[in-house]
Amino acid sequence: MKQSGRYLFLSVLLLPLLAAAAVLLGGWSPIEDPKDQHVVEIGQFAVSEYNKQSKAQLKFEQVVKGETQVVSGTNYRLVVAAKDGSATNNYEAVVWEKPWLHYKNLTSFKPVKKMP
């Protein structure tokens, strides 16, 4: 096989692997089980932190759905249901976690707009 043929062959083999790695590093992936204990803990942390920062009194109910993103740690983008008085609303929360440092940071928390 000629030198250029080898490079073409290697390119054809490696290109899908590089594309898959790009998705894993930096891309968002759906959370398969929003009832997973760790995911629920992240959701509870998000509501608790939001309450501390905004003096609100939301009560965590459940994680509705979510995605993760591998960064220097993991970003969790979750839709959480929380009770505000008698009304239950959905909120989008983003939490950055570095488990090896026991570090979590709420980077975003906002209401999810209701569809008409």
* Tens digits of residue pLDDT in 36-94: 999 999 999 999 999 999 999 999 999 999 999 999 999 999 999 999 999 999 999 99
Looking at the fold, whether 47 and 99 belong to one and the same domain comes out as: yes
Tokens (6 digits) for 9 = 């062959």
List of residues 6+ apart from 1 with CB closer than 8 A: 9
Range of the domain at 99: 31-111
Q: Does the residue 116 lie in any domain?
A: no
For the residues of 27-88, what is the DSSP string, one character each? SEEE-S-TT-HHHHHHHHHHHHHHHHHHT---EEEEEEEEEEEEESEEEEEEEEEEEETTEE
Give the integer Cα–Cα distance in Å for 90 and 10: 48
User: What CATH number is attached to the domain comprising 82?
Assistant: 3.10.450.10
Looking at the fold, whether 40 and 62 belong to one and the same domain comes out as: yes
Residue matched to tokens 């509870």: 44
Looking at the fold, whether 9 and 45 belong to one and the same domain comes out as: no
Closest C-alpha to 50, from 61, 40, 60:
60
| Count of domains forming the chain | 2
- What is the value of pTM for the model shown? 0.77
Q: Residue 26: pLDDT band by 50, 70, 90 thresholds? A: confident
Burial class (CB in 10 A: 0-12, 13-18, 19+), 47: buried
pLDDT of residue 18: 44
Tokens (6 digits) for 103 = 């570090």
Looking at the fold, whether 20 and 65 belong to one and the same domain comes out as: no
